[in-house]
Amino acid sequence: MKNIRNILVILLSSTALNTWAQSLDSLFHLAVENNLELKTLTLEYEAILSREDQVTQLPNTQVGVGVPVLRPETRLGAQMVMVSAAQMFPWFGSFEAKKDVVIEMSKAKYEALNALKLDLQFELKSTYYQLLFLEKRKNLFTETLQNYQRIEKVVLAKVEANQASLAYALRVQAKTDEYNALLAQIEIQKHHLHAQINKITHQDLSGKILLVDSMDYSFMNYDFEAYRSKIALYHPAIQQISHQISVSESVIAVQEKAKKPSLGIGVDYSIVQARTDANPMYNGRDIFVPKVSLNIPISQKVYNSKIKEERLNQEALGTQKESIIENILTQIITYKTEYDKARIDFNLSLNQSKKIESAYQILLAKYSADGNNFEELLSTQNELLQLQLKRDLSELTMALAKAKIERLTNY
């Protein structure tokens, strides 16, 4: 009993873990943790952040030691050793401007990371929905196959009673072979989609995905003007460009600081040997000389040229931002049109399939009774299947259209 209880606990734990690992949310968490593209961008983001200490580093301190070959004589004695040290300091605010460049660059990379997350989330959802669609198609083909098998039994009974031609049975058997082949093809397609999801989440490519979520094609609260404002303010691609513009502004600030003088502070120290031939006041006193210097950039063409380049880059980025916003809004309109058309098709096929289903049942009962209208029975069965396929395809189209809109507006 204890062993059985342990086995049940393990099975329940495995099932729970498997269920957690196969929902859309859990798959997305796996992608965020394991996806190689996301890891690459994350490392690039961290690498940019590490530059902050680099750009705020003072120039190297210059230290020199000199021993004169021919010792210069002073009134207080000969200079034996000369030591000098100097440190340059950039213009006030230079470090802050350079730090701003790094911060804005990291923010731009972070938005690229967010954009990739949106893409991966949509790719996961799209592939997941296609798996759900294939599962529905599998069930539909299985049901259709069962219908043809029932028809085949009726036909064979009619053949044995000399009330139908054997050709009818062969035609039905050909249809059952066709749907068996279609079911086998679906399994191959599912294997490919499983591999796609496992690639995104960096799991074993041969692993199977247990579907626990349903396809979301519910009606959307569509507000085009709200989308326009949200995209312009918060879309990762737009935010990335905004930070690139800020990077350019910070680069200009750095160049403006570079046009200013840099201040140098230093000291010269000479060790003096005391005179032996005389004893003046302060005989042998060392020489100590504090120094202040300015490094003045006289030619500023290179700085002005860089500033002009950055201004032009900002104009280009501003135009690019407007273009991206227009493209996104156009895509949203296109996807909403796809959604609306698919909903009309879905409602139509749903209503028609109910009527054709009733007609099919009537024809099947009639053929079972008197053996008439075989061609009409097969035609009605095929028409019913096509309507059901159209209904399921409309569901997938609506779900994908909604997911595409959410990809552009849900962040």
DSSP SS3 for 295: strand
DSSP class of 219: P
- E-only strand ranges, 337-386: none
319 φ/ψ angles, rounded to the nearest 5 degrees: -65, -40
- Residue 72 falls within a domain, yes or no? yes
The H or E element spanning position 90 is none
| Residues 28, 299: Cα–Cα separation, whole Å | 55
Q: What is the CATH number of the domain that holds 37?
A: 1.20.1600.10
DSSP class of 342: H
Number of domains in the chain: 2
- Residue 363 falls within a domain, yes or no? yes
| Residues 273, 139: Cα–Cα separation, whole Å | 104
- Residue 108 falls within a domain, yes or no? yes
* Cβ-based neighbour number of residue 358 at 10 Å: 11
Mark whether 26 and 118 lie in a shared domain: yes
Mark whether 275 and 324 lie in a shared domain: no
The tokens of 209 are what?
A: 């995905």
Mark whether 226 and 198 lie in a shared domain: yes
Mark whether 53 and 155 lie in a shared domain: yes
- Specify the amino acid at residue 366: K
Exposed e or buried b per residue across 282-317, where buried means at least 16 C-beta atoms within 10 angstroms of its C-beta: eebebeeeeeeeeeeeeeeeebeeebeebeebbeeb
295 φ/ψ angles, rounded to the nearest 5 degrees: -100, 105
Boundary of a domain, candidates 280, 296, 312? 296
* Digitized pLDDT (tens) for each residue of the chain, 411 residues in all: 344 344 333 333 344 344 334 789 999 999 999 999 999 999 999 999 999 888 988 889 999 999 988 888 888 888 999 999 999 999 999 999 999 999 999 999 999 999 999 999 999 999 999 999 999 999 999 999 999 999 999 999 988 888 888 998 999 999 999 999 999 999 999 999 999 999 999 999 888 888 888 999 998 788 999 999 999 999 999 999 999 999 999 999 999 999 999 999 999 999 999 988 888 898 889 999 999 999 999 889 999 999 999 999 999 999 999 999 999 999 999 999 999 999 999 999 999 999 999 999 999 998 888 878 889 999 999 999 999 999 999 999 999 999 999 999 998
**Cβ-count burial of 388 within 10 angstroms (0-12 exposed, 13-18 middle, 19+ buried)?**
buried
Boundary of a domain, candidates 248, 270, 296? 296
The tokens of 173 are what?
A: 């058997």
Tokens 């599912």 found at:
190
| Residues 43, 37: Cα–Cα separation, whole Å | 10
Contact 79, 271 (CB under 8 A): yes
Mark whether 365 and 304 lie in a shared domain: yes
The tokens of 301 are what?
A: 């063409």
DSSP SS3 for 266: strand
- Residue 10 falls within a domain, yes or no? no
> What pLDDT was estimated at residue 1?
39
| Residues 202, 159: Cα–Cα separation, whole Å | 57
Boundary of a domain, candidates 277, 296, 315? 296
> What pLDDT was estimated at residue 74?
86
Backbone CA torsion sign across 345, 346, 348, 350? positive
> What pLDDT was estimated at residue 395?
97
Mark whether 244 and 321 lie in a shared domain: yes
CA dihedral angle for residue 71, residue 73, residue 79, residue 84, rounded to 10 degrees: -100
- E-only strand ranges, 177-309: 262-274, 287-295
> What pLDDT was estimated at residue 128?
96
Mark whether 173 and 212 lie in a shared domain: yes
- Residue 5 falls within a domain, yes or no? no
| Residues 147, 215: Cα–Cα separation, whole Å | 27
Q: Which candidate, 121, 131, 111, places its Cα nearest to that of 29?
A: 121
- Residue 9 falls within a domain, yes or no? no
Tokens 């290179």 found at:
302
Mark whether 309 and 321 lie in a shared domain: yes
Mark whether 281 and 305 lie in a shared domain: no
84 φ/ψ angles, rounded to the nearest 5 degrees: -135, 150
- Residue 12 falls within a domain, yes or no? no
Mark whether 238 and 383 lie in a shared domain: yes
The tokens of 68 are what?
A: 């004169």
- Specify the amino acid at residue 90: P
The whole domain housing 83 covers: 62-89+262-296
- Residue 278 falls within a domain, yes or no? yes
Mark whether 100 and 79 lie in a shared domain: no
The length of the chain in residues reads 411
Strands 262-274, 77-89: parallel, antiparallel or unpaired by DSSP? antiparallel
Alpha-carbon distances of 297 from 56, 268, 322, 324, 397, rounded to whole Å: 20, 25, 39, 41, 64
Mark whether 243 and 321 lie in a shared domain: yes
